[in-house]
Amino acid sequence: MESGKENYLKILNVVGARPNFMKMAPIIKAMNRYPDEIEHLLVHTGQHYDEQMSRAFFDDLGMPKPDIDLGVGSGSHAEQTGQVMVKFEQVCLEEKPDLVIVVGDVNSTMACTITAKKLGIRVAHVEAGLRSRDMTMPEEINRLCTDVLCDYLFTTDPGADENLRAEGVADEKIIFVGNVMIDTLLQHKAMAEKLTTGRDMGLEAGEYAGLTLHWPSNVDDREILNGIFEALISIAEQLPIVFPIHPRTRKMMEVFGLTHYLKLREDGMGILVTEPLGYLEFLHLIMNARMVLTDSGGLQEETTVLGVPCITLRHNTERPITVEQGTNVVIGNDKQRILAAANDVLEGRVVGGHVPEKWDGKSAERIVEWLVGNA
Ligand code: UD1
């Protein structure tokens, strides 16, 4: 161990974008139980920086303030990745960690992995081995680059283990621990249940749909985005849709002149737009929704555990277990298919799912126990 003390690990935990925060929160909590074995610092790259995209999550999840904020912000993929690398390299040189932990598949995940490995620092990837096989997704490129470099690959399901093995990763690097995002969900479910967010918005439990949309392939093309909203408007004739809007999507809807879709009618039907919500308020809305329409990765997993039908507006998923075992259907972005999938839910043709193995709230504990014993 480079830190001088025997059996002592100095760890840099990295987060960058919204879906990273709920994955890292339980890992930090679990690490706090090992003060004699682990020293850890939290690095925020600043990929997401708006109050509602970043700080609100730290507050809701009881996460410590980042020890180091790289303040990188938005930019093209190359700009963002490059900026994170330049700034994170400096942090690694100053802090000299034994290990860097990255989560998920965002640009910050890949950028920090490459940087640390080139400095000879070990890296662990939490949520390794997921594959959509769709190289037009920036996240797929991030996943592949990250996994090929990492020393320890913590996986959410046996399918991810198989993907890694098929790519030639040695067995001893692959550790199936379950899903840390579900740790966070289970820790906060009771708290979220008590909120009145839905009622305050005039929504009855089970009488609305939840929507999130931010994937470039859905929102960066006017025709595709318009087609999706034609379908959504039609669903919203029967079931109001609540839509916490991602800044990227808001920007594109304004550019394409599609904001007329974002209206709740006087009879309570239509699309109710909100700013991006904090973790607890969002969880409250999702757990009480009749169905969720989304292009998010994490939400496919959360709805599976909550038993809420999920309609994924993408052509593929890196999380097939949510389809095989959970409540998810992956249907693309064609209007007729979206309407048919929503009708299946409305007419009761969708049966509840099964919670995958080790999605039990203890995944972060498994990761930290493993690191303390093996890293
Ligand atoms: C990123 C991740 C994606 C993840 C998503 C969750 C990559 C390649 N993509 O996508 O995998 O599902 O986060 O939200 O890492 N913006 C703001 N305020 C912010 C952050 C972003 O206004 O705090 C706007 C900016 O216009 C920015 C755009 O959103 O250019 C996109 O942000 P970016 O971080 O590049 O990607 P996301 O679409 O958020």
Q: What CATH number has the domain bearing residue 96?
A: 3.40.50.2000
Residue 4 lies in a domain: no
Reduced to 3 states (helix: H, G, I; strand: E, B; else coil), residue 327 is coil
| 106 CA → ligand 1 middle, Å | 9
Same domain, 143 and 25: yes
Same domain, 227 and 286: yes
> What is the model's pLDDT at position 351?
77
Same domain, 199 and 170: no
> What is the model's pLDDT at position 146?
98
Structure tokens at 313: 């507006």
Atom of ligand 1 nearest to the CA of 248: 29
Q: Which residues of 86-108 are buried (b: 16+ CB within 10 A; e: fewer)?
A: ebbbebbeebebbbbbbbbbbbb
Number of separate domains in the chain = 2
| 79 CA → ligand 1 middle, Å | 13
Q: What DSSP character marks residue 172? A: G
CA distance 321 to 157: 8
Q: Is 188 a catalytic residue?
A: no
| 248 CA → ligand 1 middle, Å | 7
Summarised one tens digit per residue, pLDDT across range 124-172 is 999 999 999 999 999 999 999 999 999 999 999 999 999 999 999 999 9
Same domain, 131 and 16: yes
Summarised one tens digit per residue, pLDDT across range 73-103 is 999 999 999 999 999 999 999 999 999 999 9
Structure tokens at 79: 């700009």
Same domain, 299 and 162: no
Same domain, 217 and 129: no
CA distance 178 to 57: 22
Q: Which residues of the chain have pLDDT under 50?
A: 1-4
The end-to-end CA distance of the chain, in Å, is 9
Within the chain, residue ranges assigned H as helices are 18-31, 56-61, 77-95, 107-118, 138-149, 158-166, 180-193, 197-200, 216-219, 222-235, 247-255, 279-287, 298-306, 321-324, 335-346, 363-374
CA distance 355 to 359: 7
CA distance 90 to 287: 42
Q: Which of 21, 47, 218 to mutate to test the pocket of ligand 1 (most atoms within 8 A of CB)?
A: 47
Q: Which domain holds residue 171?
A: 9-179+360-374
| 26 CA → ligand 1 middle, Å | 23
Structure tokens at 41: 């610092």
Residue 1 lies in a domain: no
> What is the model's pLDDT at position 353?
84
CB 295 within 8 Å of CB 279:
no
Burial of 39 (0-12, 13-18, 19+ CB in 10 A): middle
Q: Which of 214, 295, 300 to mutate to test the pocket of ligand 1 (most atoms within 8 A of CB)?
A: 214
Atom of ligand 1 nearest to the CA of 17: 13
Same domain, 200 and 154: no
Residue 353 lies in a domain: no
CA distance 238 to 352: 22
CA distance 132 to 333: 16
CA distance 33 to 109: 25
Residue 354 lies in a domain: no
> What is the model's pLDDT at position 2?
46
Protein residue with least CA distance to atom 7, ligand 1: 106
CA distance 215 to 218: 5
Same domain, 171 and 197: no
Q: Which strands, in side-by-side order, build the sheet including 241-244?
A: 271-274, 241-244, 209-212, 291-294, 310-312, 328-330
Structure tokens at 170: 């040695």
| 58 CA → ligand 1 middle, Å | 17
Same domain, 342 and 367: no
At 236, give phi and psi (nearest 5°). -75, 0
Active-site position among 125, 188, 214, 246: 214
Q: For 188, how many CA atoms within 13 A lie in the half-sphere containing its CB?
A: 27
CB 241 within 8 Å of CB 262:
no
Q: Which of 248, 312, 314, 318 to mutate to test the pocket of ligand 1 (most atoms within 8 A of CB)?
A: 248
Q: Which of 20, 22, 48, 132 to mutate to test the pocket of ligand 1 (most atoms within 8 A of CB)?
A: 48
Residue 197 lies in a domain: yes
Same domain, 78 and 209: no
Burial of 166 (0-12, 13-18, 19+ CB in 10 A): exposed
R_g over Cα of the chain: 20
Protein residue with least CA distance to atom 20, ligand 1: 48
Atom of ligand 1 nearest to the CA of 297: 12
Q: Which strands, in side-by-side order, build the sheet including 68-69?
A: 68-69, 38-44, 9-15, 99-103, 122-128, 152-155, 174-176
CA distance 290 to 285: 10
Residue 2 lies in a domain: no
Residue 107 lies in a domain: yes
Same domain, 273 and 151: no
CB 288 within 8 Å of CB 294:
no
Atom of ligand 1 nearest to the CA of 75: 30
| 223 CA → ligand 1 middle, Å | 21
Residue 34 lies in a domain: yes
Ligand 1 shell residues, CB under 6 Å:
17-19, 47-50, 53, 74, 105-107, 138-139, 214, 246-248, 251
| 19 CA → ligand 1 middle, Å | 10
> Residue written as tokens 């007329």?
260
Same domain, 36 and 172: yes
| 137 CA → ligand 1 middle, Å | 13
Protein residue with least CA distance to atom 9, ligand 1: 106
In order of 181, 232, 238, the CA distances from 339 in angstroms are 29, 8, 12
Structure tokens at 291: 């169905």
Atom of ligand 1 nearest to the CA of 54: 23
